[in-house]
């Protein structure tokens, strides 16, 4: 079944042929100059412009759910429109980041952060300073920069400021940490820059430059923090999207979300430096276990756990051709076939849970991307459409919204439907 030619699915409309071109306005790049949306980069994040289009028709009577929080784009866009929203993520760092974006900061709190920056002095960074137990940490930062980062982090942690002001300082620290790291974002996920030698001075910023960078990043953050936002209108919660009823109360009229794609990109891998510095991770095993709990996670022990995973016979994926697709992937890689199978089994558990927190006739929008393993296409958008129909949704549509930046067959889609459990 080809997503560019199929017209009907369960009697519902699937977008017509003619896939769109690449559109950077619908990626994380479009968020970088949009105030709070650009506070901290997360490469797989989707665009505020796309969420804006989906939020625009809503009213203040609506209640929006994003069950895959990411960097908080949906919840923040809703808050900017005065619309109530909740978002959930299994990763506590992402929940902290989203809530920091969603907070209403007072002028006094902003002034606290500004005064800290004005009094900061990193010129003397000698001494035994703490840095996180991130494996091979000098692959991330030159020792001189690591010492300066450690001094900056210690100063932020010890600052005599309110917690909201400290959150703003920590956001500035995270920006500096990633902008001074020896990493590149020229591809879909993070990669390390090649060093010419152990003392490659191109990678060294030094205390003075690092302090200046912190001042610049913090200035941008504080300017965006001035933007009026009603505190409490939107909130992020730590929770599992497969067990939403254990975290949320009430009924939601809209779902706007972008779950992880089945493409083996790990959020934990890219978020490790932030999570280690801020204390959300302390060792590699912990990182792997958290990724194993996430849908689509493959970092560390999450990969080895796949070798022992067994499909649940009570959770069949009712999509024509699914067993054959899994078998074809297994011919090349058993572990990848396990990965794809588990991903969609977890999606079923998510949709089962979702039905407990939706109002009747709630509208859902899932931004998803298809995948390819060897020569086997995984039509994620069509499988999502089938699963929605299976769980009580009608008028299911699939719209092709953009060409992605990698293989020519890969696109991004919006899969939408209306919850009607008694139809």
Reduce the DSSP state of residue 412 to 3 states and report it. strand
Local confidence band at 45 (pLDDT 50, 70, 90 cut-offs): low
Q: How many Å apart are CA 257 and CA 237, to the nearest integer?
A: 15
Higher pLDDT, residue 36 or 28: 36
| Mean predicted lDDT score pLDDT of the chain | 88
**Contact by Cβ (8 Å): 397, 290:** no
List the CATH code of the domain at 8-92+232-419.
Answer: 3.40.50.150
Beta bridge partners of 363: 254, 418
Give the pLDDT confidence of 268-308 residue by residue, as tens digits: 888 999 999 999 999 989 999 999 999 998 888 888 899 99
Average pLDDT over residues 128-138: 92
Q: pLDDT category, 52, cuts 50, 70, 90?
A: very high
| pLDDT range class, residue 193, cuts 50, 70, 90 | confident
The whole-number pLDDT of residue 291 equals 92
Q: Where are the domains of the chain?
A: 8-92+232-419, 107-225
Count Cβ atoms within 10 A of the Cβ of residue 310 and give its class: 0-12 exposed, 13-18 middle, 19 or more buried: exposed
Residues contacting residue 12 through CB under 8 Å, at least 6 positions apart = 385, 389, 394, 395, 396, 397, 417
Residue 99 has pLDDT above 60, yes or no: yes
Residue 198 has pLDDT above 80, yes or no: no
The angle, 0 to 180 degrees and rounded to 10, between the axes of the packed helices 334-354 and 322-332 is: 150
Average pLDDT over residues 231-242: 95
CB 70 within 8 A of CB 271: no
Per-residue pLDDT of 149-173, as tens digits, reads 999 999 999 999 999 999 999 999 9
Lowest mean pLDDT among 38-42, 58-62, 76-80, 314-318: 38-42
């Amino acid at each position: 079944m080809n997503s560019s030619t199929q017209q009907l699915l369960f009697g519902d409309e699937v977008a017509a042929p003619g896939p769109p071109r690449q559109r950077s306005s619908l990626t994380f790049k479009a968020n970088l100059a949009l105030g709070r949306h650009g506070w901290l980069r997360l490469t797989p994040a989707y665009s505020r412009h796309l969420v804006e289009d989906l939020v625009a028709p809503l009213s203040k009577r609506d209640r929006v759910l994003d069950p895959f929080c990411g960097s908080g784009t949906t919840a923040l866009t809703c808050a900017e429109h005065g619309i109530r929203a909740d978002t959930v993520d299994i990763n506590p760092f992402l929940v902290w980041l989203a809530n920091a974006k969603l907070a209403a900061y007072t002028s006094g709190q902003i002034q606290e952060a500004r005064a800290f920056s004005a009094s900061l002095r990193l010129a003397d960074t000698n001494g035994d300073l703490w840095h996180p137990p991130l494996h091979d940490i000098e692959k991330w930062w030159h020792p001189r920069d690591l010492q300066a980062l450690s001094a900056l982090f210690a100063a932020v942690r010890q600052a005599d400021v309110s917690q909201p002001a400290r959150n703003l300082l920590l956001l500035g620290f995270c920006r500096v940490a990633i902008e001074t790291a020896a990493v590149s974002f020229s591809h879909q996920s993070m990669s390390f820059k090649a060093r010419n030698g152990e003392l490659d001075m191109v990678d060294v910023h030094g205390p003075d430059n690092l302090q200046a960078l912190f001042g610049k990043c913090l200035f941008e953050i504080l300017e965006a923090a001035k933007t009026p936002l009603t505190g409490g209108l939107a909130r992020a919660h730590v929770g599992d999207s497969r067990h939403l009823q254990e975290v949320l109360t009430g009924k939601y009229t809209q779902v706007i979300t972008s779950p992880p794609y089945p493409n083996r990109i790990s959020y934990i891998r890219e978020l490790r430096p932030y999570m280690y510095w801020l204390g959300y991770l302390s060792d590699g095993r912990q990182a792997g276990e958290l990724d194993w709990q996430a849908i689509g996670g493959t970092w560390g022990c999450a990969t080895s756990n796949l070798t022992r995973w067994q499909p649940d016979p009570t959770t069949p994926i009712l999509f024509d051709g699914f067993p054959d697709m899994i078998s074809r992937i297994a011919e090349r890689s058993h572990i990848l076939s396990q990965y794809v199978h588990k991903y969609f089994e977890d999606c079923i558990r998510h949709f089962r849970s979702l039905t407990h927190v939706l109002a009747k006739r709630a509208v859902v929008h899932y931004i998803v991307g298809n995948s390819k393993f060897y020569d086997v296409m995984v039509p994620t958008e069509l499988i999502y459409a089938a699963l929605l129909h299976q769980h009580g949704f009608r008028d299911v549509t699939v719209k092709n919204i953009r060409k992605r930046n990698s293989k020519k067959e890969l696109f991004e889609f919006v899969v939408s439907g209306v919850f009607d459990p008694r139809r």
